[in-house]
């Protein structure tokens, strides 16, 4: 009797693939149309579950309790007011930035929705107090001893009905010279939504226009004459004209944007102090006019346009504002992002990324075994 041939052992690669199939967990099915929305027990990062996880960590729990006690003292300030979030509340929010509470969500059909939303707003209240980043950069300055001291100095010198303009300008000059560049540029070059007048007003008031700028706009050429009579102002103006100068008709700039911005901020506190012209856009200008310039009208308009129609300065300011927006929203997600993230929430309820590739591996394996 002829004995059938003994089966050959499977190659090691096949054994490894089989073992992998046995060890991998089954792939969860994606939610199909008409499937029920996730409940609280299925929602992987609901604020209720994140709160329970936080309670198990003494540091997280203490920070949350402290932030919860802060909510009654946090109020939305007027544009002319100082930030009203206490430093210890901001510190507590900072301690929670790496906890699961930061990314938690509340589904509209989940149980205990009120309790969930209460947790969400407790965590995000200090961070999303106001939609404008100008307020948030002001908060950062307040938390820095040097920035806060310098800002209070020019705030006191530039406020009140009997403000002395030369004292105000001197303190402004000191602030932009001595404050750390990220703080100074953050206060003045903070981005605002187009319709957020409160944010725009706070940004414009950084230079205290009621005191730092002349009450009656002089002729721009007269303003330049006053600047040239002061060695510091003259050198700062030459620096600005050098580093923010378009080289050709296409607007190619003489130097990099960062150098142009430093030269621009260097003029603040001098006779040529520029500022934003309104609360709704980022156009800047000198506080002067070209009316009555006579035969020097073209020269005057050229000087005035070097601030108000300078493509190098405009793009440098826009680029810095984009950077500030990205910088803040990477660390401090806007509450709107939580709503957007809900559309992609709960990875356990979606197909895993390895599922299609796993199927593509199984098919050759099955064919291989059938041929073996």
Spell out the per-residue pLDDT of the chain, length 372, in tens: 555 555 555 555 445 544 444 444 443 333 333 333 344 344 457 888 899 999 999 999 998 888 888 755 554 444 344 445 666 777 787 788 778 887 788 776 667 777 887 888 787 665 554 656 888 888 888 888 999 999 999 988 988 777 889 999 999 999 999 999 999 999 999 998 877 888 888 898 888 778 888 888 999 999 999 999 999 999 999 999 999 988 877 768 888 999 999 999 999 999 999 999 988 889 999 999 999 899 999 999 999 999 999 999 999 999 999 999 887 655 444 332 232 223 223 333 333 333 333 333 443 443 344 334
Element (H, E) at 274: strand 274-276
pLDDT score, position 42: 44
Distance in angstroms (rounded) separating the CA atoms of residues 277 and 58 = 50
Long-range contacts, 152-156 (Cβ 8 Å, 24+): 154/208, 155/208
- Reported residue count of the chain is 372
Q: pTM of whole model > 0.85? A: no
DSSP 8-state secondary structure symbol assigned to residue 160: S
Complete DSSP assignment for 70-128 = HGGG--PPPTTSPP-S-HHHHHHHHHTTTSTTTT-B--TTSTTHHHHHHHHHHHHTTTS
pLDDT score, position 305: 94
Tokens for 4, please give them. Answer: 């059938």
Distance in angstroms (rounded) separating the CA atoms of residues 203 and 196 = 11
Distance in angstroms (rounded) separating the CA atoms of residues 240 and 226 = 16
**CA 331 to the chain's CA centroid:** 8
pLDDT score, position 20: 46
Contact 341, 44 (CB under 8 A): no
31, 58, 104, 368 from 356: Cα distances, Å? 16, 42, 29, 19
């Amino acid at each position: 009797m002829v004995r059938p041939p003994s089966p050959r052992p499977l190659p090691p690669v096949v054994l490894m693939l089989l073992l992998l199939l046995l060890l991998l967990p089954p792939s969860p099915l994606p939610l199909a149309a008409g499937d029920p929305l996730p409940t609280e027990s299925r929602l992987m990062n609901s604020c209720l579950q994140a709160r329970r996880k936080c309670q198990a960590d003494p540091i997280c729990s203490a920070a949350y309790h402290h932030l919860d006690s802060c909510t009654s003292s946090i109020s939305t300030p007027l544009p002319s007011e100082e930030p009203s979030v206490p430093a210890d509340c901001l510190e507590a929010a900072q301690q929670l930035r790496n906890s699961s509470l930061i990314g938690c969500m509340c589904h509209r059909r989940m149980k205990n929705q009120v309790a969930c939303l209460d947790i969400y707003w407790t965590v995000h209240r200090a961070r999303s107090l106001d939609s404008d980043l100008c307020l948030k950069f002001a908060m950062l300055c307040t938390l820095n001893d040097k920035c806060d001291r310098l800002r209070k100095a020019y705030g006191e010198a530039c406020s009140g009905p009997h403000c002395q303009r030369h004292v105000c300008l001197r303190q402004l000059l000191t602030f932009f010279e001595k404050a750390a560049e990220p703080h100074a540029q953050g206060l003045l070059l903070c981005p605002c939504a187009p319709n957020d007048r409160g944010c725009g007003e706070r940004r414009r008031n950084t230079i205290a226009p009621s005191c730092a700028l002349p009450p009656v706009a002089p002729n721009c050429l007269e303003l330049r004459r006053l600047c040239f009579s002061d060695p510091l102002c003259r050198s700062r103006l030459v620096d600005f004209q050098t580093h923010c100068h378009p080289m050709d008709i296409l607007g190619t700039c003489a130097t990099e944007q960062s150098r142009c911005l430093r030269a621009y901020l260097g003029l603040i506190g001098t006779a040529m102090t520029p500022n934003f012209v309104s609360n709704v856009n980022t156009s800047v200008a000198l506080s002067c006019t070209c009316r009555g310039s006579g035969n020097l009208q073209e020269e005057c308009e050229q000087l005035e346009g070097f601030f108000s129609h300078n493509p190098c300065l405009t793009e440098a300011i826009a680029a810095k504002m984009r950077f500030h927006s990205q910088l803040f929203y990477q660390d401090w997600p806007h509450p709107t992002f939580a709503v957007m993230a809900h559309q992609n929430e709960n990875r356990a309820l979606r197909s895993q990324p390895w599922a299609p590739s796993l199927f593509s591996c199984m098919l050759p394996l099955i064919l291989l075994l059938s041929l073996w």
